[in-house]
């Protein structure tokens, strides 16, 4: 994470629980100090829009706290949710570096704390700090590889059930409770899930009922418990 209220980037990154797991976390104190002079940290409420698909890039956003939905919209009005960004992730980096309009819309899923860095300042620091330029390149490469995997999973999956099972497993890894393996907070509506796996809201409702009937999962509000991990993995591997 790049910042937190009441402390600068160097102090925040030194104590951050995500240190070493996210982009920019392992930069030297000197480079982090230079970034600190450029950052603007803001608290956003739920459903606030950070940037819009097709908008000219103003800079990059670092999600310090909260979750952000990244989505694209087709000409017919249909929406596809690309992913849910978690705390520590960098958003809009590709657009900030290339100058090409933002490729997606970023909307907060809950109250968030976000650090913003203007693209002009980022470009200057990349020229001055080679380690920052290298980490930006590594992050862009990782983003590309992740996008390829997600497209492959969405396009080549043979059924909505397979895509649904994959989503449940992925969310269990990202938001799972270490004290209770298999339990996680989904935090998505049926409509949002449908937009993530390329199907209808009615199909998602049917899949929930089917998975519960087969005792693959248990659900209580936003909390989901995977009851048969082996079978879920079999659905994906089939």
Mean pLDDT of 155-160: 81
Name which residue leads in pLDDT, 157 or 122. 122
Which one is the CATH code of 158-237: 3.30.420.40, 3.40.630.30, 3.30.390.10, 1.10.10.10? 1.10.10.10
According to the model, what pLDDT value does residue 63 have? 94
Instruction: Tell which phi-psi region holds residue 200, choosing left (phi > 0), alpha (psi between -120 and 50) or beta.
Output: beta
According to the model, what pLDDT value does residue 147 have? 85
Tell me how far CA of residue 186 lies from CA of 18, 67, 174, in angstroms: 21, 12, 10
Percent of the chain with pLDDT over 70: 89
Domain 9-155 has CATH 2.60.120.10: yes
Compute the mean pLDDT over every residue in the chain, rounded to the nearest whole number: 86
pLDDT interval class at 23 (50, 70, 90): low
pTM (predicted TM-score): 0.77
For residues 89 and 132, the answer to whether their CB atoms sit within 8 Å is no
Question: Does the pLDDT at position 27 exceed 90?
Answer: no
Residue boundaries of the structural domains of the chain? 9-155, 158-237
According to the model, what pLDDT value does residue 22 have? 56
**pLDDT tens profile 180-207:** 888 998 889 999 999 999 899 999 999 9
**pLDDT tens profile 209-235:** 999 999 999 998 889 999 999 999 898
CA-nearest of 176, 182, 189, 198 to 222 is 189
- Name every residue whose Cβ is closer than 8 Å to that of residue 105 and which is 6 or more positions away in sequence: 49, 51, 52, 53, 70, 71, 72, 73
């Amino acid at each position: 994470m790049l910042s937190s209220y009441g402390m600068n980037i160097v102090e925040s990154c030194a104590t951050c629980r995500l240190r070493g797991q996210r982009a920019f976390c392992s930069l030297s104190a000197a480079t982090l100090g230079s970034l600190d002079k450029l950052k603007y940290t803001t608290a956003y409420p739920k459903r606030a829009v950070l940037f819009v698909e097709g908008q000219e890039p103003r800079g990059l956003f670092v999600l310090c706290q909260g979750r952000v939905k990244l989505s694209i919209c087709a000409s017919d009005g249909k929406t596809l949710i690309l992913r849910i960004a978690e705390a520590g992730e960098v958003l809009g980096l590709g657009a900030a570096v290339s100058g090409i309009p933002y490729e997606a819309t970023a909307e907060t899923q809950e109250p968030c704390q976000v650090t913003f860095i203007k693209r002009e300042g980022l470009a200057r620091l990349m020229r001055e700090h080679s380690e920052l330029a290298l980490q930006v390149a590594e992050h862009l490469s990782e983003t590309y590889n992740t996008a390829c995997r997600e497209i492959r999973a969405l396009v080549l999956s043979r059924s909505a059930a397979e895509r649904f099972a994959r989503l449940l497993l992925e969310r269990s890894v990202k938001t799972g409770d270490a004290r209770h393996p298999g339990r996680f907070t989904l935090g998505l509506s049926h409509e949002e899930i449908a937009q993530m796996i390329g199907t209808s809201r009615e199909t998602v409702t049917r899949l929930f009922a089917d998975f519960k009937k087969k005792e693959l999962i248990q659900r209580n509000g936003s909390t989901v418990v995977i009851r048969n991990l082996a079978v879920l993995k079999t659905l994906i591997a089939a």
